[in-house]
Amino acid sequence: MTTSWGGVADWYDELLADDDTYQAKVILPNLMRIVAPTSSMTVLDLACGQGFFSHHFASLGAFVTGVDISKELIKKAQTSSHNGASATFHVAPSHELGFLPKGSVDKVVIVLALQNIEKMKETFEECKRVLKPGGSLIFVLNHPTFRIPKRSSWGYDEAVNIQYRRIDGYLSEAKIEIDMHPGKKYSEKTISFHRPLQVYFKHLSKAGFAVTRLEEWDSHKKSQKGKRSDAEDTSRKEIPLFLCIEAISL
């Protein structure tokens, strides 16, 4: 099965090897706090990529299953580890997890992937099926209020030295083609789906979930000193990059 992410598997693997990424500095520590993996816990890392988070969960003793639609990324996940920890990996779409029994998972984690999944409704339904009663679904998104592909951007007001976020559209759902390497003559494409927050909440409710946590995470980065650095650093702390939602299976 060929996927847009499979075509950039090597690039994505090299990206996450850097220890100063958002995944390493912002998302990982927050996820470890929320998931709190233990040796008695079963975790499904859905759309796991090359297993970056899967291996960290497994390093604390959790029994981890990683699933991704890209066979190239799963191959990389199977040949890597963190502190020698191992996880089990499968190639499958997020809405077809027939190899997992009903009510067999304590926690499902989806990191920066739900916005690339077309069958979100079916994915939530499948998460509900595999979760134990009272189990939790935890997912992280590029913040859908402030990070809208091709409909949001940074602006700068020189008169008051403020960097601001411009939003040109929010409530309308959209399917958007994204350049994986902007500026290059030949760049792989992927598809992103913008959905306002109410769409996520409606589908979670219909699938049998209750939202119990919502967190917004900002950037850890700082600008080099310059005319706009203070404004840039302030905007980083005021306008979040990521949204994390936890929902409990009823």
The pLDDT of residue 181: 62
The pLDDT of residue 190: 85
Q: Class assignment of domain 6-149+195-226+241-249?
A: alpha beta
Q: CB pairs under 8 A, 24+ apart, for 29-35? A: 30/215, 30/217, 30/244, 31/109, 31/111, 31/138, 31/140, 31/244, 32/56, 32/57, 32/60, 34/138, 34/213, 34/215, 34/244, 34/246, 35/107, 35/109, 35/138
DSSP for 108-160, written as a single string = EEEES-GGG-S-HHHHHHHHHHHEEEEEEEEEEEE-TTT--TTTEEEEEETTT
> pTM for this one?
0.91
Q: Measuring CA to CA, how many Å separate 230 from each of 20, 132, 227?
A: 21, 47, 8
CA distance 142 to 233: 19
Q: What is the mean pLDDT of each run of 10 residues along the chain (250 residues)?
A: 50 60 96 97 97 96 97 92 86 97 98 97 98 98 97 96 97 90 67 97 98 97 95 97 98
